Structures are given as C-alpha cells and as structure tokens.
Amino acid sequence: MTTDLKTLAGTLNAEFPALSPLDRLKRLREAVSGRLVFTTSLGIEDQMITHLIFSNAIKIEVVTLDTGRLFPESYEVWRRTEETYGKRIHAKYPQAEALENLIEEQGIDGFYHAKEFRLNCCGVRKIEPLGRALAGANGWVTGLRADQSANRHDMDFAGYDSVRGLIKANPIFDWSREDVAAFTKENGVPVNVLHDQGFLSIGCAPCTRALEPGEPERAGRWWWEDDTKRECGLHVPGASEGVRSPVQA
C-alpha cells in the first residue's frame, strides 16, 4: 500500500497543475480508496475548499481542530458554514489529561515564554488531535498555498506523507489570496470577519495578531518568536515525532 500511495502521489502531483481546484478534489476522490479527510482552520482558503466539497457532495470528511483557544469569530463562521450547507464540520479536541498536565506544567499562557513551551502547546492542542483525525485515512486535504510563506513555497500539489502514511493534497496550492477572496465573494462563501480586520492567517486567539502594513501573510502568527519559518508542526515533516507531551517525563 505504501508503494502504491507514493506512486499515486507522484501521478496526482503531475496531473494537478492542469486541473481546477474542484477537478483536483474530484480526481483525488476518484484515485484514492478509503477515507479522505480535509482539515479546516476555518480561514478563507479552507472555506473555499469546504464550499467545493459540500456544494459538490464530494465524499471527503471535513474536520476542524478545536484547540479551545479559538477566536469567537472562528466559532461564528463555523456555525454559519454548517447552516449554509446543511453539513456538519466534525471536531477533534485535545485529550483532557494531556491538556490539564500542559497547563499545570507551563501555565495557561506559558507559550509566550519559550518556543519549546509553544511547541508543546501546539502538540497537545493540534498535532495529537490531528493524528486522531487522520487515523485510518489514505488521503489528507489541506488549504496550503505556495505564496503563504517561504516554508510552503517548495511544497507539492500532492505528495506522500511518510510520517502519517498517506497522500497529502493541496488543491489550491497555486492560487493567490486575491484569487481565493474573489472566489468566496462570487460564490457567497461564509468567511471569518477577522480577515477584514487585518488577520490574514487566523489560528488560536492568544497566538494571532493583525498584520502591520507590508508584513507577510503569516507574520501575525507567533509574532513574538524570532523565526522566519513559524509553524505549529502540522505541516512540518516529522514534527509529530519530536513534540514532547507534558504527561511524559
């Protein structure tokens, strides 16, 4: 199965540039047997993909990782999306014991004090729940775009995730933010009101700020860290192997 998925990932990566995002999703569903999971952050890119999946009845599960620290506006767009399409966005939450131990060890906002603490928080609130969301799946759909950051520019339309043992597909990889915004407006897709307030990339409330004029798209994420490749670990190969849970010694 591993060899088959690796080969298929290469085939899809070669085919995707000539297809529209909708056709990429349809082709992925046609090519990959078993479960396909789309993880949405409820940001504008992911709202576009959710629209394509729900409006075209594509059999791809839509899942969000509710860290417990999201903006109220993110919950509001979650609700509006379910009402608009009459579909459920499934949720994965942090494990209670791991979260309790994290806060006991680091404090409620300990992630501001050390990058290790921030990565521990992302590990408990995002990476471990992602693992459960993708368990048993053969394909993972994301809303990554090449121009979001230098770290993402060199990723593929589709590739084999050797850590999770599945195909990872990015159906709007070559779309600009302006393209995505025009699509959502034209198609009446619910979007987070924070986007109009300077929040171009929206994550957990304590870890996201509005951008200053001229800043790159992801500069508002973990802005207190002196790092040009700020990621939570979801899209960093092998990150899940190195994250220490506070319940461990």
Exposed e or buried b per residue across 196-206, where buried means at least 16 C-beta atoms within 10 angstroms of its C-beta: eeebbbbbbee
Residue (of 3, 245, 7) closest to 126 by Cα position: 245
Mean pLDDT of the chain: 90
Return phi, psi of residue 70, to 5°: -75, 160
- How many CB atoms sit inside 10 A of residue 30's CB? 9
* pLDDT tens-digit map of 5-24: 999 999 999 999 999 999 99
Decide if 117 is inside a domain.
yes
| Nearest-angstrom CA–CA distance, 70 and 132 | 19
Residue (of 219, 158, 194) closest to 16 by Cα position: 158
- pLDDT value of residue 248: 34
- How many CB atoms sit inside 10 A of residue 249's CB? 3
Q: Which residues carry out catalysis?
A: 232
Decide if 246 is inside a domain.
no
Decide if 176 is inside a domain.
yes
Looking at residue 210, the DSSP 8-state letter turns out to be: P
Decide if 47 is inside a domain.
yes
Please tell me whether 151 is known to bind a ligand: no
Exposed e or buried b per residue across 210-241, where buried means at least 16 C-beta atoms within 10 angstroms of its C-beta: ebeeeeeebbbbbeeeeeeebbbbbbeeebbe
Range of the domain at 177: 2-191
Please tell me whether 45 is known to bind a ligand: no
Looking at residue 212, the DSSP 8-state letter turns out to be: P
Decide if 236 is inside a domain.
no
Looking at residues 233-242, what average pLDDT do you find?
A: 47
Please tell me whether 77 is known to bind a ligand: no
Please tell me whether 110 is known to bind a ligand: no
Residue 24: give its domain's CATH number.
Answer: 3.40.50.620
Number of domains in the chain: 1
- pLDDT value of residue 1: 63
- pLDDT value of residue 35: 97
What confidence category does residue 249 fall into, taking pLDDT thresholds of 50, 70 and 90?
very low
Decide if 64 is inside a domain.
yes
* pLDDT tens-digit map of 174-211: 999 999 999 999 999 999 999 999 999 999 999 999 99
